Amino acid sequence: MAKFILDKVTLSDGNNYDADEGDITNVIVEASLPTIEPNQVTIENGQLVNESYTVNIEMRTKSTNLSGSKTNAILASGHVSTDGTLPIKSYIRFVGASNSFNISTGAIYLNGYEDYSNGRIETVLTGTLEVISATDGLTS
């Protein structure tokens, strides 16, 4: 299997990515890959089964603006909440470099803020998605 090498992150209104909100570049890879965790329940004889899955997204970028067809501020995008209001649900695609692959998420609400803890301005986007089937949360 090919190793995943992140090129950019694309935000979209739909899972076919024909109405992209824009691309996020300069993503800090060490802190930006999605994770999926099983939520387990105990059934008879102490056996565990996966009841559902939680997909956690946290990505950091040195960019403050989207690139691609739309170049508005990431935090001003209708896809990101900075004040507790409900944004548009986003489909996120972690686009791999050539000879790699893409990772896509289900529809998720994103929250965002600016962070200065690493000695520079970083835009941080976070979100959590609860799904029954793991493939509804992340696909490649």
Report d(CA 123, CA 88) in Å as an integer: 18
Question: What percent of the chain is predicted at pLDDT more than 90?
Answer: 17
10 Å CB burial of residue 43 (0-12, 13-18, 19+) is exposed
**Block residue for tokens 């803020």:** 113
Give the DSSP H/E element, type plus range, for residue 137.
helix 134-137
Given a cut of 90, whether residue 6 has pLDDT beyond it is no
Q: Give the mean model confidence (pLDDT) for residues 53-60.
A: 89
**Block residue for tokens 């690139």:** 67
Closest by alpha carbon to 81, among 45, 56, 113? Answer: 113
Q: Provide the 3-class DSSP secondary structure of residue 72.
A: coil
Dihedral (Cα; 67, 72, 76, 77), 10-degree rounding: -60
pTM: 0.82
- Residue 36: band (very low, low, confident or very high) from pLDDT cuts 50, 70, 90: confident
Give me 57's structure tokens: 């997204």
Residues pairing with 15 in the sheet: none
